[in-house]
Every structure is written in C-alpha cells, then in structure tokens.
Structure 1
Amino acid sequence: MHSITTNRLSLSLFFLLSGFNFASWASRIPTIVSKLQLNEAELGSILLTMPVSSLIGLPLSSWLVTRFDSRYPLIVAMVLNAASLSLIGIAATPFALVVALFLFSLSMRVFNIAINTQAITLQKLYDRKINGAFHGLWSTGGIVGVGVTTLLVSLGISIVPHLVAVSIITTLLVLGAFPYLLRNDRSTTGNKLTFGKPDPYILYLGLLVFFAAVCEGGMFDWSGIYFQQVVGEEVFTAGYLIFMSFMALSRFVSDRVIEQIGMEKTYVLSASLIFSGIALAILFPSFWPAMVGFSLVGFGTASVIPMTYTLAGASKKYSPGIAISMIVTFGIVGMLMGPPLIGYLAHAFNLKFAFVTFALAGAMLIPISRKFFRLER
C-alpha cells in the first residue's frame, strides 16, 4: 500500500500529461488548417467529430468506473490518447483526421471521468481542498505543451515528429506511474445511472461545467487562430500561452480563494472576469489588449470546473464516479461543441463576432450558480 503522498504525485503526473497532450494538439490546429487547406466551416465540421465521439463514449465510461477501480480505465485511456495523438499528426486527409479525433475524444471521455474520480476520492483523504491544484497541473501541462509547440514552430519542426514524440514520451511515463495510483476506489453504492427527469443537483452543476467548458474549449482551439487572423501576430501561440498561463496560476490559488470568499461568490467573480476579458479582446483587437483580455478569461475559467467537480462528488444520490461521469458529459460536450460553433459563426460573420459566444457563456454562470445554491439552502 502506497502513501497518499505517492498516490497524489502519481495522479499529478497524469493530470500534467493530459494537459500537455491536449495543448500539443490544440496549439497545432493552425498547422493542420494550413496542411489540409481547411476553411473555418470545414474546421468546425471536423471538430464536431469530438462531441459526437464523447457522447458515444458515455455508456462505456459510466460502465467502466462502476465495474473497475478507476486506475484501470485511466491507464488504458491515456495510452490510447497518446496513440491517437500520433494519428492526428500523420493524418493526410480530412477523413483520416476525423478518425484520429474520434479516438482522441473517446479516450479523453474515459480518462476525464477516471482521473477526476481518483482526484475526488483522494481529496477525501486530506483535510484540505486539493482538487484545484490537480487542475492547475493540467493547465501547467498545457503551458508546457504550448511552449514546446512554439519552440518547434519557430525551429521549423513539422507536426509529425512533434506529435509522435509526445505520444512515445507520454506512454512511457504513464506506464511507469500506473502502479502508484490510488487503489480500491470503486464505489459499491449509487452506481445506477437512471434516465428520466434530471436530478436538479446534477443538472445545475452540469450546466455550470457546460458553459465554462464552452469558454475553455473555444479558447483552446481558436485563440491561436484569433491571434493569427484578427490580432495579426506571426507567433500565433502567444494568445493561447497567456490564456493557459493565467488559468494555471489561478488554479493553484483557487482552493484558497474559495475558502476565503466561498463558492457562490467565486462563480460570480469567474463570470465577471470571462465577460470582461472577452469584451476587451473584441473591442481592442491589438496585441496587448488581447493579451490582457485572454489572461482575464484564463483567471475566470480556472476555478469553475474543479469547483463544480468537487460539488458533484458530494452528491447524495450518486457515487462520485457516476456523478462525475454525468458532469463530465456536460463538460466535454461544451468543450467540444464550442469550437465547431465558433467555426460556423466565424465563417458566416467574422471571428470577432463569433467570440461574443464566450462572453455570453461566461455570463450564464451567474444565474445558474444562483439557482444551484438556492436549491441547496
């Protein structure tokens, strides 16, 4: 039996690598667009593969977290995620890219539930909140991923060796860390997933994650394009990098912020930062205003998802695995439906107009969080 510190370190590596992998794909989207000669609508259609794959994976991921300890689906999904990253890199046609993204999204669906089930279970063994720090490591992995991509782009390194190398390194590291993950975390109660009238507790939390994920997913996939096409920056990863950096910084302090002002006020603060940051980037689409705006959006989105996952783990009706599975469904759909929507709006109007979607999504956190906490009183 390993100590909880060893369990935490091992799980931290999985969070770090999952963020690194996602950023490696997302920050290469402009490269893929150029390679396959895609317009905004075509890119939006291809990105639509990901939420479809995620929804298909709902029954599979729910079954896995109730049938096995979460570490088993976590390791299998992470290895598959790494392999599909290589497939994204070598995809030479839109169809090949669709297949690769389908597998990439399906594996994300499974490991997101497994990794957050591990995190919620491990947090219960501590006398303080640690979930925000885990998600901070995911963002840190994203920063490193964007930084590596920026370096490789500046050196003229193509996408294929880049993503294949990431796949190999990820696979070796997760296989080494696997034996030290938390064991015996499968819940024996609350594992029945019922369909019908939605549980208000889960519904409101799911909507909070959905709108936060629309902002996150859209910023992941379109911040580089925004800086390239609207701001006019040659180093297009600058916007993505500042967004991820401030998201990571905020997540490492979010647990303390929540303890100081409470969850209800934190949702309002997050919404305000997202709205004002997007407004700044749209109204003043030059380098420094856009950088400040993207940093505010990073601060605003950071707390919402880990905070909401923590609340989901306290559900009285469902086990942590099932509750998180349902919440993650909202999150992944939001994260992966946001980018196609932005693509269609950008093609029909322009990219600045499309970014208004993020401001509206951020603003929705206020009325929904108020309804949730009113329900809990």
Structure 2
Amino acid sequence: MEQAAEVRLAEENNRFKISTNAVAEQIHKQRFFLSVFFFLSGFNFASWASRIPTIKAALDLNEAELGSVLLTMPISSMIGLPLSGWLVTRFDTRVPLTVAFLLNAVSLALIGTATSTLSLIVALFLFSLSTRIFNISMNTQAITLQKLFDRKINGSFHGLWSTGGIVGVGVTTLVISLGISIVPHLATVAVVTILITLFASRFLLRHDRAETRNKQALPKPDSYILYLGLLVFFAAICEGGMFDWSGIYFQKVVQEEVFTAGYLIFMSFMAFSRFVSDRIVERIGMARTYLMSSLCIFFGVTLAIVFPSFWPAMVGFSFVGFGTAAVIPMTYTLAGASEKYSAGVAISLIASFGIVGMLLGPPLIGYLAHAFNLKISFIAFAFAGIMLIPVSRLFFRLAKNQSAL
C-alpha cells in the first residue's frame, strides 16, 4: 500500500512539473514574440524617419511646409489616445495590436508612394494613428507579462525598440547607398511587417482584456509632477526633433550624401545610454545625471552648429543621443515616488508632457528653419537641453523640502 501511494505521489509530482514547465515555456514564448513587435515598431519608425529628406526633396517642400505636414502626426496621435484606450478594454490587446500593425504596414507603403502633400498627410495620419494604438497595446501586454516574472523585464522591451530603430536606420543607409528608391524600400518593409504580424500575433498573451474601462481624465498635476513633466517635455523636444530633422541636417547643412549617418549615430548612442543609465545613476546619483545629460545635449548640439562638417556633427549627435536617453526613464522612476498620486497616475501625467514635447519638436524646428535657417533652428535643441539644469534643481529642492516636513 505504501509503495502504491509513493508511486501515485511521484506521478502527481511529475505531472505538476510537466504542467509548470509548460506554463513557463508558454510565458517565455509570449515574451519573445512581444519582443519581436517592440523591435519591429522601432524598425518601422526609423524606416520612415530616416527617409524624411527623400520625401522632402521629392515633394519639393520647404522647411515650414514640412513642419506643417509633420503636425499631422500629433493630431492623429491625440485622436488615437482615447481610441486605443477604448480598444484595449473592448478586446484582448493582441487584437488591436495585430490590426494596428497591419494598418501601420499599409500606411508605411503609402508614405513611400505619396505623390502629393495631401496623399502624404493621409498616409502620415494613418501611420501615427496605428502607431499610437499598437504602442498602448504592446505596453499593456508588457505590463501584464511582467507580473508573471520574478524580475523587471519592461526595460528590455524598450531597449529592443531602440535596437530596432538602429537596425532600421542601418538598413536605410545601406538601401540609399545602393541607390534603391523609397518605393521598393518602404514597400518591402511593409510586406515583411505584414508577414511577421500574421505569424507572430498568434503567440501573444490572450485573455488580458481589462474588466473595467480606464478613465481618460487625469487630475491637475502638483508642483512635484509639474517639474518632472517639464523635464520630460524638454527631453522629448530634443528626441522627437532629432528623429525627424537629423537626416535633413546632414543633407542640407553637413551636405553628406549618405544623410542617414547622423540619425544612425544618434540612435546608437541613445540605445547605448539606455542600457547603461541605471549604472550611471547608481554611481553619481540622479541630480548629477540630469546635469550630465543637459551638458551632453548642449555640447553636442553646439558642436554640430559651430562646426557643421561630418566628424564634428557625428560626435555632436552622439552626445545628444547619449544625453537625451537617460532623462525620460529616470524621470519616470522619480514619478513613482510621488506622495500625492499612485505610480500609474503620476506616470500618465508625466507621459502627457512627453507626448506634447515629442510631437511639437519636429514642426517647431521646421518653422524656425524657414524663418531663419536649419542650422540656427537647432539652437532650440540646445536651449531645451540646458533647461534641464534649472528645472531639475527646482525639483530636487522641492523634493528635499517635502522630505523635511
């Protein structure tokens, strides 16, 4: 009898181990395929952004006209914000994620074939709208998946977005050097995106629909959140503006034929900074990291403006990428320490500042470039970078006073 009981117990233990191993394997598979979509998102965005100089020249747009066209993206993104929030409460997140990636692929192909300003605006509207929808869907999946792990994994997803961006710029650089036009380039990216989406979406997390609909209205931020929001705002102006204008700067000011070089070095150092920023903060502290980031941005932009030739601009853009990357994740960490708001509400409030900065930066540079010139317009980046110093000091002074109460 005892032997029979031991045999049954051993069989149950084996079944439990098999079941546990199967669940663990499933979770890791879901993480892998969600990582594929983060990488693909960065790749697609870089494919579009690094082709902006080509589009500008093909449609004969001046800087102000390009800035006005780029305003399509923040308008579309704002429309997509409540829509995406509704979709992830109405369906499993894999559904809007899949549909949005398919729409993103189609809109990317339309960008490549745009023959008028109107057709480009329509394509950019769809591109930005679909990007907003799958960004919220992907991040919702990431947050849900992280709860199933015993360690933080969310940062790795965003690192893969930057990695995808680097690969996207690299591929575009190769394509341009080979003399391949924008139409087959973006059409190929679109086809690859569709194929990957149809295959990989089957392995994403299921049944993660929220039980209650998230409220979109956010409370008015206090001084603690306001200072953090301003830090993200100024960093996002640099980041968003560099995404869209670094290639044109290399084409028009540096007069480099392979104009994606500036974007590539910026993205590479931004990704590198995101992977090492945690160690930097541990070593020198957050206050000094903000100071370092600010000086890197200011020095990098100034170097590219004063010496608008290839190597000084490359070094300058690398400093800008390194400086901008650490600010937003570091600020989100500080937001979690808010005594007035929960971490989720605080990050949502600060993220709204980031969205405004990221999407207003590109048209702002366009209008300044038209009024003066493109080289002078980059002073806006230097100003935004140096503003991190007084705002961060005000924040840490406020935080110190609050902790003393």
Task: State how far apart, in whole Å, the 1-side matches of 2:100 and 2:382 are.
Answer: 33
Cα shift readout 1:65-108 (whole Å, capped 9, x = no counterpart): 44444433322222221211011011110000001111111112
Task: State how far apart, in whole Å, the 2-side matches of 1:10 and 1:241 are.
Answer: 25
Deviation at 1:5, TM superposition (A): 2.9
Task: State how far apart, in whole Å, the 2-side matches of 1:3 and 1:310 are.
Answer: 30
Letter in 1 for 2:35: S
SS of 1:234's equivalent in the other structure is coil
Contact 2:91 2:209 in 1 (8 A): yes
Task: State how far apart, in whole Å, the 1-side matches of 2:100 and 2:335 are.
Answer: 22
Task: State how far apart, in whole Å, the 1-side matches of 2:187 and 2:337 are.
Answer: 39
Matched, 1:178 2:201: yes
1:285 counterpart residue number:
308
Cα shift readout 1:328-370 (whole Å, capped 9, x = no counterpart): 4433332221111101101111112111111222223334445
Letter in 2 for 1:27: S
- The 1:252–1:180 alpha-carbon spacing in structure 2 relative to 1, beyond 3 Å, is farther
Please, which of 350, 358, 363 is the counterpart of residue 373 of structure 2? 350
1:84 counterpart residue number:
107
Deviation at 1:144, TM superposition (A): 1.2
Letter in 1 for 2:75: V
User: Structure 2 unaligned runs (5+)?
Assistant: 1-22
- The 1:150–1:130 alpha-carbon spacing in structure 2 relative to 1, beyond 3 Å, is same
2:48 counterpart residue number:
25
Letter in 1 for 2:141: Q
Matched, 1:146 2:195: no
Deviation at 1:129, TM superposition (A): 4.3
2:238 counterpart residue number:
215
Task: State how far apart, in whole Å, the 1-side matches of 2:55 and 2:225 are.
Answer: 37
Q: TM-score, normalised by structure 2?
A: 0.83
Matched, 1:114 2:137: yes
Contact 1:50 1:105 in 2 (8 A): yes
Q: TM-score, normalised by structure 1?
A: 0.89
Please, which of 368, 386, 393 is the counterpart of residue 363 of structure 1? 386
SS of 2:171's equivalent in the other structure is helix
2:180 counterpart residue number:
157
Letter in 1 for 2:184: P
Identity %: 73
1:16 counterpart residue number:
39
2:279 counterpart residue number:
256
Deviates more, 1:172-181 or 1:235-244: 172-181
Number of residue-to-residue matches in the alignment: 376
Matched, 1:239 2:262: yes
RMSD: 2.8
Contact 1:10 1:178 in 2 (8 A): yes
Please, which of 259, 274, 283 is the counterpart of residue 297 of structure 2? 274
Deviation at 1:11, TM superposition (A): 2.1
Matched, 1:337 2:347: no
Cα shift readout 1:205-260 (whole Å, capped 9, x = no counterpart): 44333222211111111111111111121111111111111112222223433444
Letter in 2 for 1:336: L
SS of 1:116's equivalent in the other structure is helix
Contact 1:132 1:307 in 2 (8 A): no
Contact 2:42 2:164 in 1 (8 A): yes
Deviates more, 1:197-206 or 1:95-104: 197-206
Matched, 1:51 2:74: yes
- The 1:307–1:134 alpha-carbon spacing in structure 2 relative to 1, beyond 3 Å, is farther
Contact 2:335 2:343 in 1 (8 A): no
SS of 1:38's equivalent in the other structure is coil
Task: State how far apart, in whole Å, the 1-side matches of 2:281 and 2:213 are.
Answer: 28
User: Structure 1 unaligned runs (5+)?
Assistant: none
Please, which of 75, 78, 87 is the counterpart of residue 64 of structure 1? 87
2:16 counterpart residue number:
none
SS of 2:216's equivalent in the other structure is coil
Contact 2:246 2:262 in 1 (8 A): yes
Deviation at 1:62, TM superposition (A): 2.8
Task: State how far apart, in whole Å, the 1-side matches of 2:310 and 2:49 are.
Answer: 21
Task: State how far apart, in whole Å, the 2-side matches of 1:126 and 1:258 are.
Answer: 25
Deviates more, 1:290-299 or 1:171-180: 171-180
Deviation at 1:119, TM superposition (A): 3.2
User: Considering only CA atoms, is the larger Rg found in Structure 1 or Structure 2?
Assistant: 2
Task: State how far apart, in whole Å, the 1-side matches of 2:196 and 2:335 are.
Answer: 30
- The 1:106–1:323 alpha-carbon spacing in structure 2 relative to 1, beyond 3 Å, is farther
- The 1:254–1:115 alpha-carbon spacing in structure 2 relative to 1, beyond 3 Å, is farther
- Indicate the structure whose relative CO is greater, using CA pairs within 8 Å and at least 6 residues apart: 1
